[in-house]
Chains A and B, each alone.
Chain A
Amino acid sequence: MSIVKLSMRLVTSALLRAAPAALALGAVVLAWEAYALFSGISPTTLPAPSRVVTQAWEHRLALLDNMLPTLAATTIGFVYSLLAAFAFSVLVDFIPPIRRGLFPVLIVSQTLPLVAIAPLVVLWFGFGLGPKIGLVALVAFFPMLVALVQGYAATDRDIEALLASMGAGRLRVFLLARLPSSLPYFFAGIRISITYAVVGAIFAEYAGAAKGLGIYILNAKNNFRPDLVLAAVLVSSALTLMLFGIVVLVQRLVMPWDRLERRSP
């Protein structure tokens, strides 16, 4: 099956499944539009959805220009994070004491409020892309690590016993059984992480950046343009959905057996 055909099928089935949610969302948007139109509320307080969309279109070049750095920080940070999570998971799997030493530290790293560390990181490392990548990697790391470690542990004991009877060593067992067993868990972790990553990038930019959706939102707010704030939110949502969709597509390609498993009794 070609990737194009597969993505088309995925999109169609996603749209069908999303129909009730889309209807509910549509109702909210309509009510909002009506309220903004008839209540006489000022557009600098609550802009109508139609205004958000037309303004988004009018400022499309600026929005695109600010979306690209966010996309870059998100994807680069996410990739680093994924590589680090995988490396640590392997370490933890082969040397269990590391888990006891490392996990408490990592859990503490997850409790740091982004609102507080983002400005500090910008203060220490500047306005460039580097610190943003670092922040994204920090927020995206943990869900993937936990998912991987959990996935290794979920390996079928019978399969491990079988491999042992065949004479497979620890590394073989990891590559042939533990790693593939962890894939469904890993992808579940990736789905969480990729959404965290976008939020992390926007937060990092909000704390200081030359360009990016985060700083765009901040400027629009300071200029009393809630319509442009919402336009940027729209763009970031679309970005998240797109990245999420790519993850789902990759999962389908990497794990073609997964759907068969779930379909069979």
Chain B
Amino acid sequence: MTGYRLQLRNLRKRFGDLDVLGDISLTVRRGEFVSLLGPSGAGKSTLFKILTGATEADAGTIHFDGQPLATRPSPFAFMPQHDALMPWRRVLDNTTLGLEVQGLARAAARKRVQPLFAEFGLAGFEKHYPAQLSGGMRQRAALLRTVVQQREMLLFDEPFGALDALTRASMQRWLQAMWQQHSWTALLITHDVREAVFLSDRIYVLRGRPARMLTEIAVPLPRPRIDLTSPEASAIEARLLDTLLNQSPD
């Protein structure tokens, strides 16, 4: 036993001539919120694709709870970049998608999801179509769809990237509160330094093309975090920015 929930060692991935993941190692402990911070095109989404089985790594190992990932059912609930809500399904039926794929009957799946609508700020919108929701609500619906799968670990790929600044800030606060309440284990991809500092216990900083780990930074700020005005927070932010700006070739 390593004591880690997720442990990646020396992952590599190329797409033809394009070297996307250079040599990625990282760990996530139970109940930990870890962020992966890196510039656009660095290969962050590709890493998630490897974890969710959409593509295969060329080299390296992935262990979950000490077992090789391939030998066990997928422990991940994945929230893709953009909300990926199905426009033809009502909000309620979007949120039950994962449960239906798991083989739960539609009625049973609805029963399990319905009580969570209020907590996710979606009460009364069960019968709406995604096109009728605001950006923030769409994101919360996508998050609800992710967490009801009751997998061991959550993977967020730039969940708030498409939102305006205000909605984004309120969603980050809300996610923090939810995470504290539910003691999820989560890995978040972002290119937003503030977002990473606000939400994470630890942050990995990636350099792009091919992606390599630059540093790993702990964020020992007390929770709940209301804002990031403390000198400690500013110092961490400055350090992250410094690392990103000084190391990227472009």
Residue from B54, B77, B86, B130 within 8 A of A161 (CB atoms): B54
- Of A164, A176, A257, A263, the residue contacting B54 (CB under 8 A) is A164
Among A31-39, A95-103, A165-173, A204-212, the one that faces the other chain is A165-173
Q: A162 near B84 (CB under 8 angstroms)? A: yes
**Distance from A265 Cβ to chain B, minimum over Cβ atoms (Å):** 10
B183 at the interface (CB under 8 A from A): no
Q: Does A261 contact B (CB under 8 A)?
A: yes
Query: Is B172's CB within 8 Å of the partner chain A?
Result: no
Q: Which residue of A lies closest to B131 (CB)?
A: A260
Verify A180–B52 contact, CB threshold 8 A. no
Q: Is the CB of A165 within 8 A of B53?
A: yes
Which single member of B52, B97, B102, B131 contacts A261 (CB below 8 Å)? B131
Confirm or deny: B63 has a beta carbon within 8 angstroms of a beta carbon on chain A. Answer: no
Is the beta-carbon distance between B52 and A161 smaller than 8 angstroms? yes
Given contacts A165-B76, A166-B102, A257-B131, contact A159 B84 (CB under 8 A): yes
- Chain A facing B: main interface SS: helix
A156-B84, A183-B88, A255-B88 given; A165·B54 CB < 8 A? yes
> Within residues 106 to 135 of chain B, which ones have a CB less than 8 A from any CB in chain A?
129-132
The chain A residue with its CB closest to the CB of B51 is A165
Is A176 in contact with B97, judged by CB distance below 8 angstroms?
yes
Contact with B along A224-265 (1 / 0, CB 8 A): 000000000000000000000000000000011100110110
Contact assessment for B84 and A158 in the assembled complex, using a CB-CB cutoff below 8 Å: yes
Instruction: Evaluate contact between B88 and A165: CB separation under 8 angstroms.
Output: no
Q: Quick check: is A177 within 8 A (CB to CB) of the other chain?
A: yes
28 CB-based A-B contacts, threshold 8 Å: A156-B84, A158-B82, A158-B84, A161-B49, A161-B52, A161-B54, A162-B78, A162-B97, A163-B101, A164-B52, A165-B76, A165-B77, A165-B155, A166-B78, A166-B97, A166-B102, A167-B102, A172-B101, A176-B86, A176-B101, A177-B86, A183-B88, A256-B129, A257-B87, A257-B88, A257-B130, A257-B131, A260-B132
